[in-house]
Amino acid sequence: MRYFLEFAYLGTAYHGWQRQPNALSVQEVLEDCTGTLLGAKIDLVGAGRTDTGVHARKMVAHFDRPEPLPEDFVERLNAFLPRDIGVAGVRPVTPDAHARFDALSRTYRYELVQHKDPFRIDSAHWVQRPLDFGAMNRAAALLLEFTDFKCFSRSNTDVKTYTCTIREARWEAEGDLWVFTITADRFLRNMVRAVVGTLLQVGKGQLQPEDVKAIIKSRDRSEAGASVPAKGLYLTDIVYPEGIYTDG
């Protein structure tokens, strides 16, 4: 049987989602704890990668197991896991369901504060300089006109295509937070952090909103802004076709 595992994690202590040879990853911890609980080696296939220090409020991975899971599987697994990783649920899916390739969309948010907040020092990016969020939103809207985002991709990556379909990209105030939300069918390595870094240049008056078009058309990472810190980035949602689930 194949299962989708939904979980969240605070990425501060981890070198991203994917298992690393010489560094602690979320995948390693989750696979080891799940394997210990079930008494068998468990291989998790995640919906995608998150970089070192990036957080996830909703991440999904699939795994296979011949027997049904214990009824108290989620509760027992959470007892095994460290406090910065939490499992929200597990659902049976069709045998060929794939956490990465069957995802219809993914949503990230980037959190930014404009004042020094000791309680958000590890979870949001502090920008002291005044920002023009109106100009930043005008620039963000231009992203929806393009599909090739090589300029925002990490260099020397092994991807075969730089094509992504962005469905929303906007800045909104949430109390004393400014939040950038972006949804697409897929994302490139480092893409969201590079997008936010470029939009911050617009907000600071270093670029005009229309300059973003030329940056995207250049397909040159050096033309875009510097990547913002990972601590403000959260994977918040992954959407799948309802027909993928077998529990109704």
Q: What is the largest CA-CA distance in the chain?
A: 59
Report the DSSP pairing between strands 166-174 and 55-64.
unpaired
187 close to 100: Cβ distance less than 8 angstroms: no
Indicate the pTM of the whole model: 0.94
Q: What is the pLDDT of residue 247?
A: 87
Structure tokens that stand for 92 in this block:
């049976």
In eight-state DSSP terms, residue 219 is: T
Give the tens place of pLDDT for each residue, 105-159: 999 999 999 999 999 999 999 999 999 999 999 999 999 999 999 999 987 777 8
For residues 12 and 32, what is the distance between their CA atoms, to the nearest angstrom? Answer: 19
CA 135 to CA 203: how far, in whole Å?
6
Q: Encode pLDDT of 178-226 as tens digits.
A: 999 999 999 999 999 999 999 999 999 999 999 999 999 999 999 999 9
Q: What one-letter code names the amino acid at 18?
A: Q
Q: How far apart are the first and last CA of the chain?
A: 16
> How far apart are alpha carbons 27 and 31 in whole angstroms?
6
Specify the pLDDT at position 240.
97
Q: Which residues of 45-59 are buried (b: 16+ CB within 10 A; e: fewer)?
A: ebbbebbebbbbbbb
> Which residue's structure tokens are 């979870």?
123
Q: Which amino acid is at 27?
A: Q
**Locus of tokens 């959190």:** 111
pLDDT given at position 101: 97
Q: Name the residues annotated as catalytic.
A: 51
Q: Which helix or strand (DSSP H or E) is residue 35 part of?
A: helix 26-38
pLDDT at position 218, please? Answer: 97
Are 217 and 192 within 8 A, CB to CB? no
- Average pLDDT over the chain, rounded to an integer: 96
User: What is the band of 81 on the pLDDT scale with cuts at 50, 70, 90?
Assistant: very high
Q: Which domains does the chain have, with CATH numbers?
A: 2-102 (3.30.70.580), 107-236 (3.30.70.660)
For the ranges 28-32, 49-53, 146-150, which has the lowest average pLDDT?
49-53
| Residue 199 CB contacts under 8 Å (≥ 6 apart), including other chains | 136, 139, 140, 171, 180, 212, 225
CA distances from 181 to 108, 129, 141, 160, 200 (A): 6, 21, 12, 26, 14
